[in-house]
């Protein structure tokens, strides 16, 4: 993709179909993603309503990465609408395997942290990552995330093997 | 309540109104509960659908404690329906302030662990608890939970003060 431009922006309604497709694809492609099957099996209608709820929220955002016409990466920040944890943004990030190694996850993370710092609401970002996914852990550390805890049996592979999962966070001031 | 009997059982549809009332009550009564306002503002209809979804699930349960006709405690175990984290049960427990100190939370926890051990699916129980809530931390430790991590700014009081929150877990074999 040497000649192609990467564009990072907030997900729009017309991204719904691409987003649903990407989520199904990344879950099938890698065992690194720790997710509920329900989240990864989103219909286009569900993706539209998901994108809309993010657009209407002050402390949530869904960022997408496009290469040409293709939606190839997503970074979602979820937060409680109110209450004692509404300052916490929970990050989910995924990039299509074909585009691994080009720094797309890092572009998305950069945009996400910038958004959080300007949100006026988010004071903590958190994420979970399988301990064995060393590349990802290293990238998160580069962005200032630190390991706060290790969740034993925090995930399980398709073969039934239990995995340690890191809980990582970054304070936003 | 020396003369009154405590009954612990799985929540039934007729508990919906009592459950909705209790959740609103405990959130107002204490600053120890780390929750989304949406969860604590459940209508009776939402509570019915919540109870029903728990009854239909193999890896989720909602236990309630009754004293006489009153629903005074709840312990909910939430889990993903499938995927790489469906073996993880996330615990939420709350008891009406009037009934603190009678061991109701412990009765609920005992029933919950017993249920998890016989579920055949749950292999890890987890919960979060504010670090300052030492009594609760001590009780969870008594039941074999251990602190896996400390979430800095894991919650915030109504006055805006940030709090450390423990992530605790117990493996089920």
**pTM for the whole structure:** 0.91
Residues of B whose CB is below 8 A from A40:
83
Which of B85, B123, B159, B161 has the most A C-beta neighbours within 10 Å, making it the best mutation to test the interface with A?
B85
Query: For B97, which DSSP code?
Result: G
Nearest C-alpha in A relative to B153: A124
Question: Which DSSP helix (H) or strand (E) runs through A117?
Answer: helix A104-119
Q: What is the pLDDT along chain A (173 residues), one digit of tens a residue?
A: 557 899 999 999 999 999 999 999 998 887 777 665 556 788 999 999 999 999 999 999 999 999 999 999 999 999 998 788 999 999 999 999 999 989 999 999 999 999 999 999 999 999 999 999 999 999 999 999 999 999 999 999 989 999 999 999 999 99
Determine the distance in angstroms separating the CA of A74 from the nearest CA of chain B, rounded to an integer. 20
Cβ distance A170 to A145 under 8 Å? yes
Contacting residues for B64 by C-beta, under 8 A, at least 6 apart:
B8, B9, B10, B11, B15, B18, B19, B71, B73, B74, B75
* ipTM of the complex, rounded to two decimals: 0.91
């Amino acid at each position: 993709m040497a000649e192609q431009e990467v564009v990072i922006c907030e997900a729009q309604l017309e991204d719904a179909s691409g987003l649903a497709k990407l989520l199904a694809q990344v879950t099938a492609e890698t065992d690194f993603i720790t997710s509920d099957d329900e989240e990864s099996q989103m219909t286009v209608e569900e993706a539209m309503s998901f994108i809309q709820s993010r657009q209407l929220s002050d402390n949530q955002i869904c960022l997408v990465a496009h290469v040409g016409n293709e939606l190839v990466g997503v970074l979602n920040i979820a937060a409680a609408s109110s209450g004692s944890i509404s300052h916490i943004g929970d990050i989910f990030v995924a990039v299509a395997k074909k585009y691994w190694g080009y720094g797309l996850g890092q572009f998305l993370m950069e945009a996400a942290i910038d958004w959080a710092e300007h949100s006026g609401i988010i004071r903590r970002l958190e994420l979970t990552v399988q301990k064995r996914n060393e590349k990802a852990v290293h990238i998160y550390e580069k962005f200032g995330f630190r390991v706060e805890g290790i969740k034993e049996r925090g995930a399980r592979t398709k073969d039934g093997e239990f995995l340690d999962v890191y809980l990582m966070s970054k304070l936003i001031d």
